[in-house]
Amino acid sequence: MPVSTVQSLIKKGEILGSLNTKPRSGRPRKVSAKTARRIVRDAQKNPQVTSGEKQAALEQDGVVVARSTIRRYLNKKELHGRVARKKPLLRQCYKKAWLQYVRKHLDAPQLLAHCNLE
């Protein structure tokens, strides 16, 4: 151990009365790192869940946070509150009509270049 380190420790002990580190200044975080990772993981797993539902799920586990705090952590990870629109499924009548159209135009190779007839 360097002599300067020992000297600084002795000086610190004389001034403060102990060698323990002082508490850091500033407000402590509302959410621990583990809880922040959980918020992000849950949002990636199920993006349709609202921040209010996430808040209720966290409260069941004893973590009390505001919805805005949850949104802030998600925004920091670029998970914004946008949900993709659900694309409607093709109805059977439209599938049949498309298949009839393709069979009618089988002679046109450029039409079938990207189609899968199965």
Q: Which of 41, 44, 40, 39 is nearest to 55 (CA)?
A: 39
pLDDT at 76 over 70: yes
Residues 77-110: pLDDT tens digits?
Answer: 998 877 667 777 888 899 899 999 888 887 766 6
Residue 108 confidence (pLDDT): 66
- Six-digit token string for 111: 């039409």
* Domain membership flag for residue 6: no
Predicted pLDDT at 71: 94
Tell me the pLDDT band of 116, cut-offs 50, 70 and 90.
low
- pLDDT surpassing 70 at residue 117: no
Closest CA to 39 of 22, 53, 18, 19: 53
Residues 76 and 96 in one domain: no
Give the pLDDT confidence of 16-63 residue by residue, as tens digits. Answer: 888 888 888 899 888 999 999 999 999 999 888 889 999 999 999 899
- Same domain assignment for residues 73 and 96: no
Domain hosting residue 54, numbered range: 29-80
Q: Is residue 96 part of a domain?
A: yes
Cβ atoms of residues 84 and 90 within 8 Å: no
- Under a CB-based contact definition with an 8 Å cutoff, are residues 70 and 39 in contact? yes
